[in-house]
Each structure stands twice: as structure tokens, then as C-alpha cells.
Structure 1
């Protein structure tokens, strides 16, 4: 498979997509930018390993005196889309026999064995009870380990230090529910980052770079942005309160030097082409450009739900029984309400600032879309759904 050319919009062959359908995808998102609902958007669509659509539209900084258009090489904050990287890194170590899905997490973090569970009684008071069964690694990988939602830790300084600090804080707090019995989007992937460091003896960013980013040719993905690349970094945008988008100053939204906190949950930079390379490796069953990273059976395990019966993924205010969850990716198991147009068997995730990707094995498709806006889901809750709808309308054979 050939590597993507960032200066080309599509490959010579549309691989079963119609030219008119892909043009409609472009029209839909250009209109959102022209109408002021988005500052910019970069979208990449690939099939059978070939990029068939690559579109960049809008401005890097909508408030700048001298406008700079976004390009396919524009660097975005992808936040929680770091999580599938962590999942792949964990599976590298799983293949090496360093952990098993049914291992108790306390095997690697002994203090977690003593964690109590906070349970509400009939009279409205709370009591602390023992774990009914030990927290397992597969639960840690699938947000069912028992931890609170991420924002519920805002007052305890969870990220005031390094990954060891997170473990120290969590070791003093009760779990919010019995392991395995509920899906809550919390600090599980930061904990995975800690385990990666303990199992390998290397800082998390070094391990990701040496085992994934550098070998895959992901030249613009990382936690630190050098001065030579700052001009390619998109601004984050937000509503100024009147419905108008304005940019947020770059200072404080990226790092020229290694940040104090590097975890598994968010705060990493990338481009659509870099994310395509990673996603295509997953779609290829763990191989990319002649190099094998993971076994096909390992990729199958990553995209197989480990949720217990009756446990549902909840995104925002929506409980989604049509979704499963595997190793740091969510899986479309049925075309349930609120699932948009992604096909059954696709696996995906999203980022806080408006980035998304999905891998569709049945149709041999990868899609990556990048936006950087605060509260984009309130202004434009259906961006990923619009993308999926138009992608599959354009797919003819």
C-alpha cells in the first residue's frame, strides 16, 4: 500500500466511491464553515488502503489579521483520540505476555486491591463496601473498572502531578460502582499509561514514539510541538456568546517543551494523514507498509466488546445500547438510535475538540475528521453523523 501524498486531494481511483457523492461531502462541510458554524475542517477518506478524498477548508485562526487556510498538513489537538494509541500500545505488551485480560489490576497496582466501593443506601446515605470481584484489566481497558467520570475528579487535583500522582490519589478514593457493572468515561486510560511505564521501564511518550509513531511514519504526532511546526498548529475556537466563532490564543494550548503531565487520556497533537496511517494499520490487521505491529487476532480482540450483558456505553446524554467497547475503542454492534450512519462492525472514537475517526472492516474504509472547537458538540452535534451519512451515500460498490 502506498503512503498518502499530503499535497494530493485523492488517489487516481475512487475505489467504489462516486465523484459526485464525495463532492457532496465537501459541499456539506464547506457550507458549515461558510455559515460560521465551523472555523475549519479537514477530512480524509480511504478505501482498500488508498486515500480517495482529502479535503481541508477554513482558516487556522479565524480571528487573525492575515488569514492562513488549513491544509491536510495542519496540526490539530486530538485529545481523547490518543486513547486508541494507548490501546494499541497495551496490546503490544499483551502479545509479549506481560498482562492478560483477566488479570486483576492490583497485580500491577497493588494499592487498588484495597479500594472500596461507595454505595448509596435506601435512606440516601452512603456506605463503603468491598469489591464483589477484583477489578480486571479488561475492565480497565473498557471504562468499566469502577472509577468516577473524569469531571468528577476536578476537585482532587488528579492531574497536578505525573502518572504516579494519579495512582496515589485514586488509591485514597472509593470506586463509584462495582467493577464491570457500569460504563463510565473516567481516568482508566491514564492508569493504562502508568502500567505501560511500569511494564516497560520507559516514559509513556518515549514508548509510543519508538513502538508506534516513528515506525508508522507519524511524523507530526506527539506531545511536544517544536518551534519549526508552530505555524502549522490550528487555533482552538469557541463561541463568543453571540454566536460568532473566535480563536483562543495558542499559549497554554500546546507545549514547546515536554509537559509536566503526560497521560493516556488526552493532550496530544496529530494530522489527518498521521492518524490515517495508524487507522490503516488497524484495518490491515496490524500491518502497514510491509511492517507488522500487531497480529490479526490481536486486532480482532481489540474490536471485540468485553462489556457485561446489560452494560451500555453513554456518550454525552445518550445511552447507546447499540455500542460495545473493546480495547480502548467503541464498536458499532447494531444500527441503534443515535448511532448515525456508521456501519455495524465499525470501531471508532472521538476527541474533546471535535476530532473523530472510524475503521469499517466490512467495507474496508477508514475515515478521519478534524475540527478544533470548544463545545463543538453543542454548536454542531451531528458533524460525525453528517460525515458518515455522506461517506456511505457516496460509496456505490
Structure 2
């Protein structure tokens, strides 16, 4: 076999600079996590210099089913949808349809006149103030607009998103209306908070293109990149390929997940109420690896160009203001600093030494609430995709950190 998922296979790990025995250590660790019941199954794919160096599957796709997790198993990738939506936005950016400093109200008039949270009054109501200006598109692309999400019980504005069931809206238009009725958490550009921004970006894609988000992604990204198994829903005869989704049962085992962050899990064989740019896609390990390799190739794969190299470089440039990077805030999902920032759809390693990581400068990454993760390391010419289906918790986070450790420990000849 010379390729997998349309991706060429390296002749051997050594030719790509890796110690095969050390990569086996990662495989043994993954197998042990399956064997001890931490996950039902796992899939990992490592690429270097555009070739698949290591692709393995472990365990089963579903507990109680003898079917092994396969190379073409489909996973709910949740927030790994966000970088895809960001790429869709940058396609429209290249067409001159929007600019980074445009106010979001140019495309989302629902947010005209939105107020900003300024504290709580004695009666338990929010105290509000005027916004200094509407959030910019740059801020919407980087979670610095001041929006909430409704996933975390950490702030009055965030709780309001849950109370108004923003994520349970019946359409993207309704999601925007519900979010616009809630004040911003902070003045635009003055903080970072994980939010519904990517769902609103999906709505902007629809309004600018005249297509549904799913149709735009299929026409402009999935079709050209030959990501045949990625979308917001799939055929009924593909249901057997879907990995089961699980959560900690509180007793050291797993239970079937029925909700994600309070929202019922959708049947992927039917169309969702709306195609959410923040977390609605299903995909396979090889499909998403094709997307990652396109980013690593600076916008191109197999002769098909999705974005220009300059646009990909722009996406990988930190846009969080220094004033925000120089402070800490427990509300942030990640510990951003001068060493670790966020661009237009990805987190970014800015200073590996200061951050204490092995990934190279400029590494882009993100993950999904169902346990999936990826990173793209231009300095080492590495792309990695990991897929499990365990709802976000310390165990699923361990997979992300441990995979990085094993991969760079095995890269014994980076000069190759």
C-alpha cells in the first residue's frame, strides 16, 4: 500500500527522521488507555514532509460492539469545525468580501447597539454600559469580541447564554438574535473568551455566499481537498462507521454520552437544525489530516489551492493584543501569554522555549469537545491528528499532551 486516504506513505519512519521503536511507545500507551477502559478506541495519524509516517487505530468504535475502530471510522469533531469555518471565511476574505477591521454589525445588524456588562447590582441584575465601538471582524475571528458561549458557569454573561439557550436555537439567524440580546462580557478587544463566534462566522459565510454553510464548505473545501467523509450529516448507511461518544461514568469507567454541554446529541444521519460553524462536523482521521496538510502546505494540497500562502500566514499570526497577553484571567480557556497566542482560527505557539514545549515556533492547533485534537508544526514540517470520543475532561486532555511528548521524543533526526 502506497497511500492512505489519498495521502502518500513514507517509506519508513527513519527516512522521515523518526525512531520507529519510540513511535511504538506511543502506540503502546494508546493501547493501554484502551485496555484500561479510559476510551473505547483511538486513532492517530502522524505526517512529516507531506507523507504519512505513522497511522494506527486502537480498540473499538463502540463499546458492546465487536467492530474494531477502523481507518475510516467517523468521529464527531466538535470544535475542530472552527478552523474549517475560519478557512471558509478567509476564502471570502481573499475575494474582498470583508476586511479584518470591519465592524461585525456590517454583516450581523442584529448586534447594533449591543451593551457591555459592567458589574452586578444589589438586586442581582446586570449593570450595563455602552460599547466603545462594535466588535471588529478580527475580534470575532479570535474570540476577543466579548461574546459568551453558554458552556461554562463562570460569569453572568456566560450564564445568560445558557439561560437563553443560544446553542439550542432552531437556526443560525435565531442564534444570532438570541446572542445579540445578551450584553458583551467585556469591551471589544480587551479580553479573550471562548464563544459562539464561529457559529456567527458560519452565518456570515451564508449571508455573503448565498449558500448554506455546508454547501459552501463542500464546494470550496471538502470537495477540492477530497475530504469525502466530512460534513454536517452523513448517509444512513454510514451510521455503522460512527464512533460512539462516551463520558466519565464517575466510577472509573465510561457511559454513553447523550448530551454535549447540555445540548442533546444530534443524529448525524439527519440534517441538524442549523449547520454550526463552531462544532457541527463529523470527519475521519484521514480527511482531517488532508485539511491539516493543506494548512501545512500554506494553502495547497495535491495541486489544489484553497488559500494563498500569505493568507495562511495571516491566520497563523497572533491577534490577541499585548495588553491581554500580559495579564492572566481564570476565565480564559487557555493560558495565553507572549509565548502562546491565538490567530484567525487557531492557537499559536509563539515562543516554544518560554512555553516549555517541543513543538516549533508557529505551531497551530485546536481540539474538539469529544476528545479530538490536531496540531500543525511548520518548523518541523509535522501534522498530527488524534481522534478519541471521550467528552472533554482531564483524561481526554492527557491524550493531547502525551501524544505531543511521544512524537517529539521520537523525532531523533529532525534534520532529515
TM-score bracket, normalised by the shorter chain, equals over 0.9
* TM-score (structure 1 length as normaliser): 0.92
Quote how far apart the aligned CAs of 1:314 are. 6.9
Between stretches 100-109 and 295-304, larger displacement belongs to: 100-109
Between stretches 257-266 and 307-316, larger displacement belongs to: 307-316
Residue 147 of structure 1: aligned partner: 147
Between stretches 156-165 and 51-60, larger displacement belongs to: 156-165
- What is the root-mean-square deviation of aligned Cα atoms in Å? 2.5
Does 2:279 correspond to 1:256? no
Contact 1:9-1:52 within 8 A present in 2 as well: no
Residue 90 of structure 1: aligned partner: 89
For 1:99-118, list aligned pairs within 5 A.
99-118=98-117
Contact 2:77-2:279 within 8 A present in 1 as well: yes
| Partner Cα separation in structure 1 for residue 184 and residue 407 of structure 2 | 41
Query: Could you list the runs of 5+ residues in structure 2 that have no partner in the other structure?
Result: 152-157
Structure 1 294/233 Cα, relative in aligned 2: closer, same or farther at 3 Å?
same
| Partner Cα separation in structure 1 for residue 277 and residue 71 of structure 2 | 25
Choose from 372, 391, 404 the match for 1:388. Answer: 404
Quote how far apart the aligned CAs of 1:166 are. 1.2
Q: Deviations over 1:81-129 (max 9, x none)?
A: 0000001000000000000011111111223231111102798975321
Does 2:12 correspond to 1:19? no
SS in structure 2 at match of 1:358: strand
Quote how far apart the aligned CAs of 1:255 are. 2.3
Quote how far apart the aligned CAs of 1:311 are. 1.9
| Partner Cα separation in structure 2 for residue 388 and residue 180 of structure 1 | 31
Contact 2:7-2:290 within 8 A present in 1 as well: no
Residue 375 of structure 2: aligned partner: 358
Structure 1 286/6 Cα, relative in aligned 2: closer, same or farther at 3 Å?
closer
SS in structure 2 at match of 1:150: coil
Choose from 306, 321, 328 the match for 2:345. Answer: 328
Choose from 339, 364, 374 the match for 2:391. Answer: 374
Between stretches 131-140 and 48-57, larger displacement belongs to: 131-140
SS in structure 2 at match of 1:320: coil
Structure 1 154/197 Cα, relative in aligned 2: closer, same or farther at 3 Å?
same
For 1:293-308, list aligned pairs within 5 A.
293-308=306-321
SS in structure 2 at match of 1:54: strand
Residue 29 of structure 1: aligned partner: 30
* TM-score (structure 2 length as normaliser): 0.88
SS in structure 2 at match of 1:311: helix
SS in structure 2 at match of 1:127: strand
| Partner Cα separation in structure 2 for residue 8 and residue 94 of structure 1 | 29
Contact 2:232-2:280 within 8 A present in 1 as well: yes
| Partner Cα separation in structure 2 for residue 209 and residue 278 of structure 1 | 13
Quote how far apart the aligned CAs of 1:134 are. 2.7
SS in structure 1 at match of 2:110: helix
Query: Could you list the runs of 5+ residues in structure 1 that have no partner in the other structure?
Result: none
Quote how far apart the aligned CAs of 1:329 are. 0.8
Does 2:62 correspond to 1:53? no
